[in-house]
Structure 1
């Protein structure tokens, strides 16, 4: 768990890190270079979850060696399905990272929402509800490997 008491923001007790796959962790279905090591490091402190519609069918293969829980979305609209998953974990103990419009609900409702602007860019609607914007996924995940960065970004 990652715990911080951030002046002007409040107390964070993050047990679950929920990540979008395509556009966030992956480009064109392929896990971005260097993320495997970072995810393994994060999994020592939080449970890592990956949510995806797996449009390109590569998520499970790409993440097979990593300590993550993969949830393939089907049925509901993607934004609602992602929020439903986060609700089952407990929004108050989840940090969520995504880039797309289908990430809006989980970014808004989680204890901490982070939008990234990567190679697939980002949804401005989702950016408006996120607590933090990051230039790429490595910088976003770095907020959790070096939690004092969260403090300096979010405090009043």
Structure 2
């Protein structure tokens, strides 16, 4: 539980991650992500939801404690939203960078926009509660929740 005065109490059970542009650059997992996901998996169910642009997400995530879901090419934003809603949006932290992440970022109990090498959609940034400069910074918000409190309290 993370109690953020003036914002909300977060009782998170799920972490939903976009893949390309969020935890990976050019299809390859960003250094430092695997170790953080292994630690977070002790408290959260981790889900990676992606169109798998480079076709290697399963290979890259095979050794990690997470569920990988590959989407079709159409209606990705709506599919990601449905996924988060089925998990329980209020108990989910969603992280992404793309326009197709905007609906899940807005619906999640906590939405985090991330800007890696491919940039971040303005719509994703506006839909998120927090924006960070890297996936390691984003995951560290969950590992060090007082950072969230400092950013989101009012």
TM range (shorter): over 0.9
Structure 1 residue runs of 4 or more that deviate by more than 4 Å after TM superposition:
none
- Matched position secondary structure for 1:128: helix
Residues 54-77 of structure 1: CA distance to partner in whole angstroms, max 9, x if unpaired?
111100000000000111112651
Tell me the TM-score normalized by structure 1.
0.96
Using the alignment, how far apart are the partners of 1:29 and 1:129 within structure 2? 24
Local SS of the residue matching 2:127? coil
Aligned partner of 2:149 in structure 1 is: 151
- The CA RMSD measured in Å over matched residues stands at 0.9
For 1:59-98, what per-residue CA distance to the aligned partner results, in whole angstroms no more than 9, with x for missing partners? 0000000000111112651100100111110101000000
Instruction: Report the counterpart of residue 17 of structure 2 in structure 1.
Output: 19
TM normalised by structure 2 equals 0.97
Match of 2:37 in 1: 39
1:7 matches 2:8: no
Deviation at 1:50, TM superposition (A): 0.3
**1:104-132 superposed Cα distances (whole Å, 9 cap, x missing partner):** 00000110000011111100111111100
What number of residue pairs does the alignment pair up? Answer: 154
**Structure 2 regions of 5+ residues with no counterpart?**
none
